[in-house]
Structure 1
Amino acid sequence: MAAPLASCSYSASCGRTQRCSATVSFPERQRLCLGRQQLHCRPLRRRSGIVKASLDQSAFLSVFQQGIAFVIVNLGEGIYTRSQLKAASKGRPSIGILLLSNVALVAGLYLLAVGQTKAGLAVGTTTSAALLLLDIKRAYDVEDDPREWPGPKAWPATLALISFFAVNVFGQALLRV
């Protein structure tokens, strides 16, 4: 890192003269003033604009793909478990909660895809956390049958683990933004 050598002025594109601090940092081209001699290079320009929070492309693709996979697994497990358990049994997934949670996840992924990164990741994180709690509750509520292997508790417990990973995916991406 080079320290500033001198201050100089340069003309901006609008014609106004602005003050700057010149530094010796090559290969970055800056306008350097040394007394009356000037080394004419490309001046640094400050641009104003709105900075949006975003993820880099690889992190975005990773979160998006894992979010889609989570929606598919969540729907599949809910439909399968609902078809296997009797209507009156404890721990049977509610179709309303199943649809609402997956619509919320898809909405979060849509927000992520259209550039509303923080909102999409926040929706994904909260929905995944809610699903984690619901799956843990379902795993405790399902009555264990010793004649079945791996047993009816295996599906909600596995989905609770997958929900935990989804909370981490969305949450860690949210912390990076």
Structure 2
Amino acid sequence: MKYGSWLVVILLLLPISAFAFFRPVRALIPEAFGVRCNEQNLCIDDFSQLAVAESLLDDSKSYLATQWGLSIGEPKIIFCSTEQCRSAFGLSNKAGFTLGSFAIVIAPRGWRQHYVAHELIHHWQADRFGSLALLTGEQWLIEGMAYALSNDPRVALHEPFESYRQWFNDWYRLNADIPLKESLGGVL
């Protein structure tokens, strides 16, 4: 009975610890951390900025569908417009992050189409190939694809990301006659 009680305590403390110490997990229930969400799973800390966030999301999804044939769906996406929100979700210096197929969080500096598109690509990857693929897959493919297809305007990225983008571009040129999802399936 003694071990059973400890097991119950551990099982109760595990989710609490995750939300307290691993801030990205907070994206699963963003309303508990100072943001409001609409019916389309778009969440924001400053609702007066909702139209701007909706436009960024719609433009990014439209670009990815038109240019690359990527159908994104309706991911839960949190737009942080304040440093307090950024900190609450553990973004540190990142422009954004994707928590598998569960949620996307965009930092204040990430309110640009290429950053939103970058995270939507990661969401698409997780939806098609599983969330574990983002952790265990080839980083040149995971990150290289996101940088290359998001229309990131930076001429050169910090390493290793520039190498990843170039590696993906080279790989994509060799596989251009195969639909993207099919060609990726052989690598992820």
TM-score range, shorter chain: under 0.3
The TM-score normalised by the length of structure 1 is: 0.27
More helix per residue = 2
Larger radius of gyration: 1
The TM-score normalised by the length of structure 2 is: 0.26
